[in-house]
Structure 1
Amino acid sequence: MGHIILHVSDDTLKDMTNDYQPYQTKTPQHAVFQAKKNGVTITAYRSKKVMFQGQNPELEADRWQSTKTQASTKKTVNQHDYMPDESLYGQNTIGSDETGTGDYFGPMTVCSCYVTKDQIALLKELGVKDSKNLNDETIQTLAKTILQLEIPYSLVILHNEKYNRLQKKGWSQGKMKTMLHHTAITKLLKKITPIKPDGIIIDQFATPNVYIKHLQSERKTLPVGTYFVTKAESHAISVACASILARYSFVKEMDKLSKKAGFTLPKGASSKVDQAASYLVKKQGYDSLNHFAKTHFKNTEKIAAYLRK
């Protein structure tokens, strides 16, 4: 069994933590996380050293080796170049956000919304804010209000069958999110043509360097005037609108899947989800998971234990 050790930057360590989240196992002492993917065990330490162990550790290490090399030899991609001036939040912007990434059941949904500066005050008055702080009933009400206001938007849904196919092809969840955001934003830019937004704000889930790298791997480029903001939905109303519509769509898709399953599928990735998944397998077989779930999540491995009870 071979091993490779990399010393990574803070940004790369954050990206790795997010990227390997679905594959994480029990974290050893003094480690940030431990994960297992493609037969390779990845252990990230607080010292920012990351060890890759397995028969072919280069399968995973090479992904981050190139990121590390690029970061050390190129200085064209700088986080600060993609952070907006706060005045942009009061301008005409496209906001983009996603949901469903941490849920075992259900698709990933990404929405982009175009909000003008003249609409910001009204949307705030109506209670538009981060969907994570709203229950499903309130999200439904606000989503219908946003739609009635005819705010331009673009919604992209990655259903489970295609998600699982891309994951087996080697796409990380980060790359999937990148391409979904890019698709939604591109469609919306075409929809509002000839209008050009003052800026495009993406709720940050990866560093600009990694996001751009994902785009380049599919021969796509970042639109001019794109910015990445952590917790952007609490700063930009356009992102808050996108957050609400993305969540509204996700809830509707979950309702559809629940009808097909014959019972209510729980959200998230908790032990309740494990129980629900085992019940679903009893009713419809293991193959059904490809339609209902993100099969590479650890929940799939836990089903067998529940079936033995």
Structure 2
Amino acid sequence: MTFQKRSCFVTTMDLKLKDHLREDLIDQGFTLTTPAYTFFSAKKKGISCTLYTSGKLMIQGKEMDEFIRFYIEPQILQTFTYSNPEPTDTSERIGVDEAGKGDFFGPLCIAAVYADKKKIQGLLALRIRDSKILSDPAVIALASKIKTICPHTLVILKPKTYNQLYARFQNLNRLLAWGHATAIAELVQKTHCKQVIIDQFANETVILDAIKQKKLDLELTQRHRAESDLVVAAASILARAAFLQGLYDLRLFYKIQLPKGASQEVIRVGKAFCSKHSSYLLEEVAKLHFKTLQEILAH
């Protein structure tokens, strides 16, 4: 199956929100003009957004993807026809995604989800979409529902185990490939499904080598933004829910609020953690190969 990236997205919107949209676009750095038959046409590098007097909204440009997924759909349209996968694809498959790889604190979690035609209908009924455009409570609630519908596997690498594996692989992509291949192998054994789709995170050969080491015979599809596939989106939700639970457990155990990401706030909390406990215990809560570590340990 081939997936083509759309160069233009056209939809209709509630015109009661036109002033709200206009103000937001100005705040986001768009330049507005008013061509004939439009309320406005807004442009900035990589994106153009035109609202016609008919209510038709047209968005174009190389950078439109994230703009639609993270702003237009959740905040203006409140529908997800662009970021939702094509519901016509009901072929059985395994989708795989991970969460936590960009977070200094917490585990790395990789999820694999299997769905056939009936299970895909169940996922569609839940309005499953990429976990990145969902709130944490929504992710947790949907994850429990997905688990009741679909066979799945989770590879959860708590920080100490993650650090040990990173020391062995000496490369994040090879570690990710091993985790993906492990999750896939377990689910293939459960379901005997050989059609797998993953979000491409490195050169194609990296995951292919890991699959080969597991002696798996698969039809593997790797592509960027694979979360637009329904089953991969379901996997992204399970992975993120597992990451959120892992981070919560660490917060509870060490009685310190461990933030997501790798920001200045993470550095501040890392220093506080070392003061409260010990820098030696960072291996229990954090991914030590991050450059963030040096900033935390610096005086």
TM range (shorter): 0.5 to 0.7
Aligned to 2:237: 244
Q: Please, what is the CA RMSD of the aligned residues?
A: 1.9
User: What is the distance in 2 between the residues matched to 1:245 and 1:263?
Assistant: 25
CA contact (8 A) 1:111 1:242 kept: yes
Aligned to 1:264: 257
CA contact (8 A) 1:146 1:241 kept: yes
Aligned to 1:136: 136
Query: Would the alpha carbon gap of residues 126 and 160 (structure 1) be closer, same or farther in structure 2, given more than 3 Å must change?
Result: same
TM-superposition CA deviations, 1:28-86 (whole Å, max 9, x none): xxxxxxxxxxxxxxxxxxxxxxxxxxxxxxxxxxxxxxxxxxxxxxxxxxxxxxxxxx9
Write out aligned runs for 1:49-198 (5 A): 89-149=89-149, 151-193=150-192, 196-197=193-194
User: Which 5+ residue runs of structure 1 have no aligned equivalent?
Assistant: 1-85
Query: Would the alpha carbon gap of residues 221 and 206 (structure 1) be closer, same or farther in structure 2, given more than 3 Å must change?
Result: farther
Letter matched to residue 258 of structure 1: R
TM-score (norm 1): 0.65
Aligned to 1:208: 204
User: What is the distance in 1 between the residues matched to 2:262 and 2:135?
Assistant: 18
Shift of 1:122: 3.3
CA contact (8 A) 1:204 1:229 kept: yes
Query: Would the alpha carbon gap of residues 168 and 119 (structure 1) be closer, same or farther in structure 2, given more than 3 Å must change?
Result: closer
CA contact (8 A) 1:163 1:294 kept: yes
TM-superposition CA deviations, 1:164-208 (whole Å, max 9, x none): 122223431111110111111111111124xx35x1111111122
Letter matched to residue 290 of structure 1: E
Identity level (%): 36
Shift of 1:135: 1.1
CA contact (8 A) 2:146 2:234 kept: yes
CA contact (8 A) 2:104 2:286 kept: yes
CA contact (8 A) 1:114 1:152 kept: yes
Higher alpha-carbon Rg: 2
User: What is the distance in 2 between the residues matched to 1:223 and 1:113?
Assistant: 18
TM-score (norm 2): 0.67
Matched, 1:293 2:289: no
